[in-house]
Amino acid sequence: MGKSSKDKRDVYYRLAKEEGWRARSAFKLLQINEDFNLFEGVKKVVDLCAAPGSWSQVLARKLRGGDVKNDDVKIVAVDLQAMAPIPGVIQLQGDITKKSTAQEIISHFEGEKADLVVCDGAPDVTGLHDIDEYIQAQLLLAALNITTHVLRTGGTFVAKIFRGKDVTLLYSQLRIFFPLVAIFKPRSSRNSSIEAFVVCQNYSPPAGYIPNMSNPLLDHKYDTDYNNLEGPNRVIVPFLACGDLSGFDSDRTYPLNLEDGKDYVYHPPTQGPIKPPYEEACQLRKTDQLAKVVDPKKASSESSDKSKG
Ligand code: SAM
């Protein structure tokens, strides 16, 4: 796919490059913030599953206002993948479902709780919906467990969720900790994707709840208990679309020159992937060392010519 054809495909992808965001996901957080005022009074944040870092960029720009030395603000970003540095953001590399990573995050918040925890975590989707939804739910629960250790009472938790058939269980689990839970679909999130975001406000753990590193939320007996809820015991979570309706629709194709009379200018991606698996192959190709594909028929006729000669 050529450079401009990819740009034509997605207006948010293009806008992200123009505005210097590392990924189009930045607009999802910005649009959720438009409706929820997420950043008001917020000084300490955890960004889970943060690579390549566009949410961390949004947090740094909104909370620090460009002042990297603002010591009042703390942003801790975590991902399985390495992330290029962002001024003013503490970066950790690790798996959020692992106890050691959770402990490392928590160690940054001893004596000072976070006001906001965000998680845009997604597994590498397999296309098998049940499996993808299950893994996504486990990521969300791991994020929620870390949240119970670091979030201050009254704080906010925002996380990606896949709206699959068993999502009721997750709503119920979230409602144990947050009296206000809503589902949001930002305009920059494609309609074709089952992703949405839960916005959980006013963190209020149950009386006597002691955060536990062995993650009781991943205990499967909860599954049967909560999935069988019926009638008034079944939580109905409000669903809302967010993002200004005059904004761009992520499922539409737009002309390259968005403003009349202005020529289209190609912008390269703000942040290229770090150590992608194909890096070695690219390097070999540059130096013409990549193994050439050999046609077996040609090879055998060449070798028989040689033996004749
Ligand atoms: N919010 C990011 C941004 O704006 O740049 C994009 C996040 S991307 C959609 C999902 C990320 O989840 C990937 O970078 C992936 O490495 C991360 N992830 C998936 N499973 C994880 C896990 N178990 N622990 C930590 N990160 C994980």
pLDDT in tens, 179-208: 999 999 999 999 888 899 999 999 999 888
Per-residue pLDDT band for 309 (boundaries 50, 70, 90) equals very low
Distinct helix (H) and strand (E) counts, the chain: 10, 8
Cβ atoms 242, 184 nearer than 8 A: yes
Catalytic-residue membership of 160: yes
Q: Which two tokens mark 287?
A: 């130096």
pLDDT at position 252 is 84
Q: What is the pLDDT of residue 151?
A: 95
State yes or no: pLDDT of 157 exceeds 70. Answer: yes
Tokens of 34: 């438009």
Residue pair 178/204 in contact (Cβ under 8 Å)? The answer is: yes
**ipTM of the prediction:** 0.99
Does ligand 1 have an atom closer than 6 angstroms to the CB of 95? yes
The residue with greater pLDDT, 166 or 306, is 166
Average the pLDDT over 286-293 and give the result. Answer: 79
Confidence of residue 123 (pLDDT cuts 50, 70, 90): confident
In this predicted structure, the answer to whether residue 22 has a pLDDT above a threshold of 70 is: yes
| pLDDT score, position 303 | 59
- How many whole angstroms from 56 Cα to the centroid of ligand 1? 12
Using pLDDT thresholds of 50, 70 and 90, give the confidence band for residue 236: low
CA of 196 from ligand 1 middle (Å) equals 15
Does the beta carbon of 158 lie inside 6 Å of ligand 1?
Answer: no
